[in-house]
Homo-oligomer: A and B are copies of this chain.
Amino acid sequence: QVALLDIDICGPSVPRMMGLEGEQVHQSGSGWSPVYVEENLGVMSVGFLLSSPDDAVIWRGPKKNGLIKQFLRDVDWGEVDYLIIDTPPGTSDEHLSIVQYLSAAHVDGAVIITTPQEVSLQDVRKEINFCRKVKLPIIGVVENMSGFICPKCKNESQIFPPTTGGAEKMCQNLNISLLGKVPLDPQIGKSCDKGQSFLAEVPESPATLSYRSIIQRIQEYCELQHSQEEKII
């Protein structure tokens, strides 16, 4: 059982990417019901509360924080094995609030996404510093948009060149795990736009293999943490 919570209040992309655009949240006796992609995957996003996907949520921090609190308190997630929270970029209200509201819960850690250029790595180093300041463990870093194989001639181009060594060098320097690199594949964007699972659509592509290996590494990290905790108890 997996729950996916989108706390990008002003730019919620999860409903579209999950093929759930136009869905509405239902109120039940036990609170808000998530919208289900499949039986074992429930999703919550501000996108389900808007009358049109083009509606803008023009809210300052406090209102955004209020909704995030409601998502955690009022959604009836049921029994879940994993709660995955998708945040916007940055180190501001959404990030501070989610850490604060979950402070009494056990959080396995953060997965941080970057692209290979220094301009992105610089923002990501700030996010890593944020995690360290608020004592949020870091599971690892994923490098997205890593290289592009021309479909015609098979030549690989670094479209976002890793001028300072990319995520690999940054992870070495900061002593953080690199969970994997996901190559640029136009089908990924298409799948997101159409709300289809890229992993199911193109199961043998290099990007799918990379995604699967990243998922496995995250699961191993979480299992190791839990077994260590059980020993301590």
Partner-B contacts on A (CB < 8 A) = 9-11, 13, 16-17, 53-62, 64, 88-93, 95-96, 117-119, 122-123, 125-127, 129-130, 133-134, 148, 150-153, 155, 157-161, 163-164, 184, 186, 189-190, 192-194
Contacts and interface: CB of A to CB of B under 8 A. Distances in A.
A216 to B, nearest CB: 26
8 contacts: A13-B123, A53-B125, A55-B129, A58-B92, A58-B96, A59-B91, A119-B193, A163-B194
A193 B134 CA distance: 29
Given A54-B125, A153-B152, A92 B192 contact: no
A129 B92 contact: no
A95 to B, nearest CB: 8
B192 A117 contact: yes
A164 B193 contact: yes
Contacts of A61: 60-62, 92-93
Chain copies in the assembled complex: 2
A233 B221 CA distance: 68
A189 B152 contact: no
Contacts of A150: 150, 152-153, 155, 157
A56 B57 CA distance: 26
Nearest to A151: B157
Given A13-B123, A150-B150, A163 B130 contact: no
Given A152-B153, A161-B190, A163-B193, A16 B58 contact: no
Contacts of A151: 155, 157
Nearest to A184: B159
Given A54-B122, A58-B92, A61-B61, A159 B148 contact: yes
Nearest to A10: B90
A198 to B, nearest CB: 13
A40 to B, nearest CB: 24
Nearest to A63: B92
Contacts of A163: 189-190, 193-194
